[in-house]
Amino acid sequence: MIFPEIEEQEEHNAYSLEDGLTLCRESYIGIEIEQCKRHEPCSMPLYHYHDSYEIYYLLSGTRHYFINDRTYKVEKGDLVLINRGNLHKTTYGGSPMHERILINFNEAYIQDTMRMSADVDLLQAFRQNINLVKLQKAEQTAVERMLFNIMKEAREKDLGHASYVRLALGELLIFITRKATHTKPTDSAQIDYMHGKVSEIQKYVNNRYKNTITLGSISEKFYISPFYLSRMFKKATGFTFTEYLNSLRIREAQQLLKESQLNVSEIADKVGYESQTHFGRVFKKITGMSPLQYRKLD
């Protein structure tokens, strides 16, 4: 799911394929693989989440990676893991050039592999929200070998290529699971004080967004002036405070529309909106459709 475009700092380019070179993009049912190299500073203008798992490997450069309520500095040779449903975005990290490999896959794609690997939970690292995995040099070499083999098979489509890609992803997931057993969610420090403070605020909001929350009430809670809090929040996340709050509420509303029998008015109230009209307006702005239209989607 994509959230509306957020205005970026002027010195950074918008994030689009035209800004860089897509070296590889292949897909099968249930998995997408992409390698991309960018030559100028850029930030993703869109926060998004999806019902798939994501593996992000940085081949060169540095990036800032926002995941839920944390911001990480990602360096060459780092692995980033995104659990399904997690709000995330990458931004300029101080290096004008970067190159990365991205794999998105759904759980159905690896069901057979998981059955063959009954002695290990291939999704353990994702479920434990191990977002950033630091690798030693030899481990980087091993991961790059696996990733490049996956891309080679997907691109050349030789005999058995689909099976190879599925099995190679299983090999990569076993490696990640082993590595994650020695990694804690708290091992990766925030970038700086500002991001740490904003992360603290986000955690608070994440647990209370269904209640009445305003910029003023948050500024009082954390002893920060509304003006400074607003500037700090936007600088750290790219969201205004209101945009972030709305994104949490609408994401929850989408789940309720699909998974519950509650009517729109009940859902609006349940996710924190006092007015059904306001809820409908915000929902359409973010998703491009009304709540009822969204509910009717397959």
Q: Where are the domains of the chain?
A: 13-180, 193-295
Same fold, 13-180 and 193-295: no
Q: How far apart are CA 23 and CA 155, in angstroms?
A: 11
Which residues, including other chains, have CB under 8 Å from residue 125's CB and lie 6 or more apart? Answer: 81, 133, 176, 177, 179, 180, 183
Q: Which of 188, 199, 172, 139 is nearest to 33 (CA)?
A: 172
Q: How far apart are CA 136 and CA 195, in angstroms?
A: 26
Q: Is CATH 3.40.50.2300 the classification given to domain 13-180?
A: no
**Over 15-83, what HEC string results?**
CCHHHEEEEEEEEECCEEEEEEEECCCEECCCCECCCCEEEEEEEECEEEEEECCEEEEEECCCEEEEC
Q: How far apart are CA 50 and CA 107, in angstroms?
A: 12
The pLDDT, as a whole number, for residue 46 is 61
For residue 119, CA distances in Å to 116, 127, 171, 181, 183 come to 9, 17, 14, 14, 20
Q: How many residues does the chain have?
A: 298
The pLDDT, as a whole number, for residue 10 is 32
Amino acid at 123: L
Q: Helix 276-287 crosses helix 241-259 at what angle (to 10 degrees)?
A: 90
Q: Which of 79, 43, 83 is nearest to 67 (CA)?
A: 83
The pLDDT, as a whole number, for residue 70 is 81
CA 128, 80, 149, 143 dihedral sign is negative
Class of domain 193-295: mainly alpha
> Average pLDDT for consecutive 10-residue bins of the chain (298 residues)?
35 41 86 91 73 95 86 92 88 85 94 88 92 95 96 94 95 95 63 76 91 93 91 82 91 92 95 95 92 88
Which residues, including other chains, have CB under 8 Å from residue 163's CB and lie 6 or more apart? Answer: none
